[in-house]
Structure 1
Amino acid sequence: MKISDRIASSRPLATTAMHGRVETLRNQGESVIDFSIAISHFPAPKPVLDAVAQAVERERTMPYTAVVGALQVREHLGEKLRKENEIEAGSEEIIVTCGAKQALYESLYVMTDPGDAVVIFKPHWPAYVATAQLLGLSPILVDLPEQVTPAFLDAIAPAKVVIINNPHNPTGKVFTRAELEHIRDWVERTGAQVIVDESYEHLAFEGRHTSFAATCDWRKIGVVTIFSASQSYAMMGWRVGFALAPKEVVSAMETLQGPITAAASHISQIAADAAFACGTPRAMMDDYRARRDLAVRHFAEVPWIDMHAPASGPYLWGDIRSLTMETVAFSERLLEDKRVAVMPGDALGVPGYIRLGYISDDVATLEEGIRRIIAFGDGYARAKQR
């Protein structure tokens, strides 16, 4: 059977492909430590579990809701935006989705036409480029600097849409308000629309997360802001998030979402309603901070890797260019020889780096995985010197 041309040249996301390989090995009885993605060892917040349990007991049958999401859920999400993000929005400007990826796909779909240019800063979450390519768009990949300045922005080629990830996966960068204001001024001058992925809004260790939409007239510019419960509330498998957008964009996303999934599942909407009312998960963040610091200490004296403590997020971003080994080969051999999975930076647009999710499993497993990575790299460095 012939596969369509539009999908034949596409490949699975590298992040999910590596995790799939880990699952295959585990199903074969192998013991593998998986740092390739970040899956929290925390359960969903208790208010989420309680709300879901009560709903199952009370309702028994879970109904369809409106495609954009139940009105009460969207009203509550509007309250969250006002209190936490300093954004005023109506329920007609909110759509509940099956996670951030659906919100990204739908917003890019309705804001662009094939051939349009999209600015994506690298390193990047792989779904940004993959989604743009699926839609026939032209990604403009730009190296993300330590500090965003007007001069840096003015050197970027014009584009229909700019994608911002704040806090940033994988570097952990938290954009300052001044940086966001520079971006605001730039898109106002160029006429670009903006998609802002704020899935990690509650995962900032240092700095203060500011929503881009709070710095501008987001309706006039055309700003879509994406939120997800997955990482902020340890709800990876619930597959639920939402997007804030001008109502005409939400209406168009609804038209697209209807024949794809219709509404997000009713039970996941109940979970999202409870989760986004929880605010910052402070106990979880204290645990993550301790793990982050522990991991960085273990790598601190290793000569072939430069590993800084990220200001946010569940990932470490390590520079291994001094090892002079291709990072795809590094990750492949590490999995084969040491049964540890990491994500090569090539998958995120920047070879020479590796990304490690440090929040899975227990601390002993984290330390064992790091020990194996260091042993592998040390062995390669010694062999290279012979």
Structure 2
Amino acid sequence: MQISQTVQNAHQALSIFINQMIYDLKHLGEDVTVLSLGESFFEMEMDDFSQLDLEKINHYSDSQGIPALRKKLAHYYQSRYRVTVNPDQELIISVGAKSLIYMAMLATLEPGDDVLIWEPAWLSYPEQAKLVHAKPRFIPYDLPVEQLDTLFTDKTRMVVLCNPNNPSGRVYNRAELQRIHTTCAQAGAWLLVDEVYSDFVLDEPFVSLGELVPDFNHLIIINSLSKNLGISGWRIGYAIGPEPLIAALLRINQHVITCTGTPLLHYCNHYFDKLVNRALPQVEAVMHRRKRIKGMLQELGLDEMAGSATFYHFVHLGDYPGNAFAFAAQLLLDHHISVVPGYAYGENVDRFIRISIGWESEERIWLALQSIKNVITGPAPDPRQLRQRLLALPSVLSNVGFKEVVDEGLQR
């Protein structure tokens, strides 16, 4: 039975793999402190769907996204980030930001093209590049932006940047962004900037690249309505860029998606202002929480990669004698605390773990951080015993490829 080698070469999403183990432990009645989820949980009321036009919401809708919601998103970018967007020619809505990143790569890259991805990098970027037959190459997280051009080759066709960064929380300033884009444009390469966490910034101004490059020359902006509104399961993302790019994305969307869920689009359009007004104060509360968690890390002597945004901390493992996967597995099995190993986010960040603060109470996070400190300073587990314990989990049956991920992680 033939399975594409391209697909086989793409790794599982490690964060989703970790979360599957959490679900299995919870099904067994275990209490797990979840610091691995890539979302923040807001209190969002459910407004009345009966106020929507049933003749519209039960059927297909515009493949580019309903015009009224596109107009609201364009206005949001203008009023909040000073970016002028033509909602008819420069914006498209689809099923989540993730699918649009993949479509953008599919629309702009040829087989064998190089994609430079700035570390720490959201774990789907390199795998999506592989799926479109491009070659992902990582930019070390500590490389000065002035040296970006030294990594370019005659095959470099795209640079991927997450700003604000998942998982570190770094926010790139105006001068850095301008320099990165100039380097790309001069080389004829696209700059794909993932601005999904644009609202999760508190202490420093967020600069959208769309403000610096108003004609979107060699620029693709990706964002998420559902992520920023605390309804990530609704899967509503959007892309902003030059008209030829949006036309290409629309062509792909027509053949792969048709349209984003019509009821969800009409709901978000009808209640847009209410959703934003409910979510943004909670976003701000999460960012204040992030500052308090940072204080906890400092109190415990836990180092992290510099950052001030998003609801993540990228924590260094110090002198822990094992690798990041062994650490995450030991923490989950012995202490029922879930984190994501750093190697999911690049080649040079294996000595980190991602901690998400968007779900658990601060009291439980504080207790978890103490356990993390104790595991870091304690002995490493026996890899063979750790493997046996992992393979005894129900995930072996519920997660295809579980054994392969375990073996790869422990052997790093």
C-alpha spacing 1:84/1:53, structure 2 compared with 1 (3 Å): farther
Cα distance between partner residues in 1 of 2:55 and 2:99? 27
The answer to which of 111-120 and 67-76 deviates more is 67-76
C-alpha spacing 1:243/1:60, structure 2 compared with 1 (3 Å): closer
Aligned match of 2:247: 251
Structure 1 gap ranges (5+):
none
SS in 2 for 1:140: strand
- 1:156 matched to 2:151: yes
Aligned match of 2:238: 242
Cα distance between partner residues in 1 of 2:254 and 2:362? 43
1:320-371 residue CA offsets vs partner (Å, 9 max, x unmatched): 1332431111111111111111011111111100110011033333233223
Aligned match of 2:137: 140
Aligned match of 1:353: 352
Cα distance between partner residues in 1 of 2:8 and 2:330? 28
1:1-386 to structure 2, matched below 5 A, reads 1-44=1-44, 49-50=46-47, 52=49, 54-55=51-52, 61-90=57-86, 91-145=88-142, 148-150=144-146, 152-158=147-153, 159-219=156-216, 221-273=217-269, 274-275=271-272, 278=276, 281-303=279-301, 305-307=302-304, 310-349=307-346, 350-380=349-379
Letter in 2 for 1:302: L
Scaled by the length of structure 2, the TM-score of the pair is: 0.84
SS in 2 for 1:119: strand
C-alpha spacing 1:255/1:282, structure 2 compared with 1 (3 Å): closer
1:101-153 residue CA offsets vs partner (Å, 9 max, x unmatched): 0110101100111111111001100011110011111112111338x443x12
C-alpha spacing 1:169/1:4, structure 2 compared with 1 (3 Å): same
Letter in 2 for 1:193: W
Cα distance between partner residues in 2 of 1:32 and 1:342? 11
Report the alpha carbon displacement of residue 206 of structure 1 after superposing the two structures with TM.
Answer: 2.0
Letter in 2 for 1:116: D
Letter in 1 for 2:265: Q
Question: Contact between 1:292 and 1:309, CA under 8 Å: does it hold in 2?
Answer: no
Cα distance between partner residues in 1 of 2:299 and 2:268? 42
Question: Contact between 2:113 and 2:157, CA under 8 Å: does it hold in 1?
Answer: yes
When the two chains are superposed, the root-mean-square deviation of aligned CA atoms in Å is 2.4
1:22-48 residue CA offsets vs partner (Å, 9 max, x unmatched): 11221222221121123323133x5xx
Cα distance between partner residues in 2 of 1:125 and 1:102? 14
SS in 2 for 1:160: strand
The answer to which of 227-236 and 95-104 deviates more is 227-236
Cα distance between partner residues in 1 of 2:277 and 2:157? 34
Cα distance between partner residues in 2 of 1:376 and 1:202? 34
Question: Contact between 1:92 and 1:250, CA under 8 Å: does it hold in 2?
Answer: yes
Cα distance between partner residues in 1 of 2:260 and 2:57? 15
Cα distance between partner residues in 2 of 1:38 and 1:3? 29
Letter in 1 for 2:351: G
Cα distance between partner residues in 1 of 2:306 and 2:148? 26
Cα distance between partner residues in 2 of 1:14 and 1:127? 9
Identity among equivalent pairs (%)? 23
Question: Contact between 1:292 and 1:358, CA under 8 Å: does it hold in 2?
Answer: yes
The answer to which of 368-377 and 256-265 deviates more is 368-377
Cα distance between partner residues in 2 of 1:160 and 1:103? 18
SS in 1 for 2:300: coil
Question: Contact between 2:200 and 2:287, CA under 8 Å: does it hold in 1?
Answer: no
The answer to which of 17-26 and 280-289 deviates more is 280-289
C-alpha spacing 1:218/1:319, structure 2 compared with 1 (3 Å): farther
Report the alpha carbon displacement of residue 204 of structure 1 after superposing the two structures with TM.
Answer: 0.6
Cα distance between partner residues in 2 of 1:167 and 1:131? 20
Cα distance between partner residues in 1 of 2:160 and 2:150? 16
Report the alpha carbon displacement of residue 272 of structure 1 after superposing the two structures with TM.
Answer: 4.0
Cα distance between partner residues in 2 of 1:269 and 1:61? 8
Cα distance between partner residues in 2 of 1:161 and 1:272? 32
Question: Contact between 1:296 and 1:309, CA under 8 Å: does it hold in 2?
Answer: no
C-alpha spacing 1:315/1:191, structure 2 compared with 1 (3 Å): same
Cα distance between partner residues in 1 of 2:258 and 2:56? 20
Report the alpha carbon displacement of residue 94 of structure 1 after superposing the two structures with TM.
Answer: 1.0
SS in 2 for 1:278: helix
SS in 2 for 1:92: coil
Cα distance between partner residues in 2 of 1:59 and 1:365? 47
